[in-house]
Amino acid sequence: NEALRLSNITSIEEIDVIAATYGPGLEICLRVGAKHAAQLAHAHKKFFVQIHHLEAHCLVARFAEPRLKFPFLALLVSGGHCQLLKCLGAGRFSFLGGTLDDALGEAYDKAARLLRLAAPTGGGPALEKIALQGDSRAVELPVPMRHRKDCDFSYAGLKNAFRLRVDELRATFPNLQDDEPLPDQISADLAASFQRVAIAHLKDRLSYVFDLLAQDPDFFSRTQDQRPSIALVGGVAANKRIRSDLSELCENRGWDLYVPPPTLCTDNGVMVAWSAVEKITLGYADDPQDTEVCARWPFSSE
């Protein structure tokens, strides 16, 4: 009732479609939302659509920017995922590569914990904020997987290298308590250096995939006479430095970058609703009596 009121809708009869996330994610959480939504759709005889959580992140970029047309490339970066995808249409994705171990958001959170940052809104935003005051070249860290030419990601090695550097620096302050952060400038330099290398890994992978898709006449023929497009989506896409650095790379390589506003990068109801709009427009609909959620739900292949 509260959702209807905030939407200036007086009755559920004014709603045409009900949707719910069916995966991937924590099964117990998915089941609560899916079951309730399915019951509403069944009781009120509404169309029902099961939503793929990661697909919704990709599709909401089209809600935020109507100029973004299929096909487009998506870089999905979040706390649990780091993936490159060809988005060919609603329900039609081609997986190009993903993380072999840790996702980018997870790495940011771990780095923030190692720095003992106060993070009421999450480790990523806290690290991004303190990095503004640091020297990104102050601490040497390895850029992951520079020897590999593929579309996969890995942040476990960077996390470990960062932990070692933090430990080394903390050892130079023998009176530092375990829960006490390093001096402000050292923490800022560490944060800035971590962020620079984390983003360098993203830029390496995008440069490779741009070269790869340049040899894909089918992908480029579908773009007609427009420049190829990439959407940066997921919770970590709210990071301003990532947006700025990838925007510069894309401009230099002749790609148009689209990024939803920060409120649509993190998990939100709008992306689920928009995904339902995209799918119902194409005639997709699911049985509301099917409440079996998918904790693991791979993207559909091309």
**Using only C-alpha atoms, what is the Rg of the chain?**
21
**pTM of the prediction?**
0.94
- The predicted structure's pLDDT at residue 224: 60
Measured CA to CA, the distance from residue 273 to residue 295 in angstroms comes to 20
- The predicted structure's pLDDT at residue 144: 97
Check whether the bond before 144 is cis (ω within 30° of 0).
no
CA 216 to chain centre: 25
Structure-token match 């509260």, residue found: 2
pLDDT tens for each residue of 86-104: 999 999 999 999 999 999 9
- The predicted structure's pLDDT at residue 1: 80
- The predicted structure's pLDDT at residue 221: 66
pLDDT tens for each residue of 235-275: 999 999 999 999 999 999 999 999 999 999 999 999 999 99
- The predicted structure's pLDDT at residue 180: 96
Instruction: Give the rounded percent of residues in the chain with a pLDDT score beyond 90.
Output: 88
- The predicted structure's pLDDT at residue 300: 58
Strand, coil or helix: 232: strand
- The predicted structure's pLDDT at residue 120: 85
- The predicted structure's pLDDT at residue 183: 97
Per-run averaged pLDDT (10 residues), the chain, 302 residues: 87 94 95 95 96 97 96 95 94 94 96 94 94 98 95 97 98 95 98 98 97 86 76 97 98 97 95 97 94 86 50
Tell me the DSSP string of 65-123.
-TT--SSEEEEEE-SS-EEEEEEEETTEEEEEEEBSS--HHHHHHHHHHHTT---TT-H
Query: Over 52-68, what HEC string results?
Result: EHHHHHHHHHHHHCCCC
CB atoms within 10 A of CB 202: 21
- The predicted structure's pLDDT at residue 219: 80
CA distances (Å), origin 228, targets 6, 77, 152, 208, 218: 38, 20, 21, 15, 12
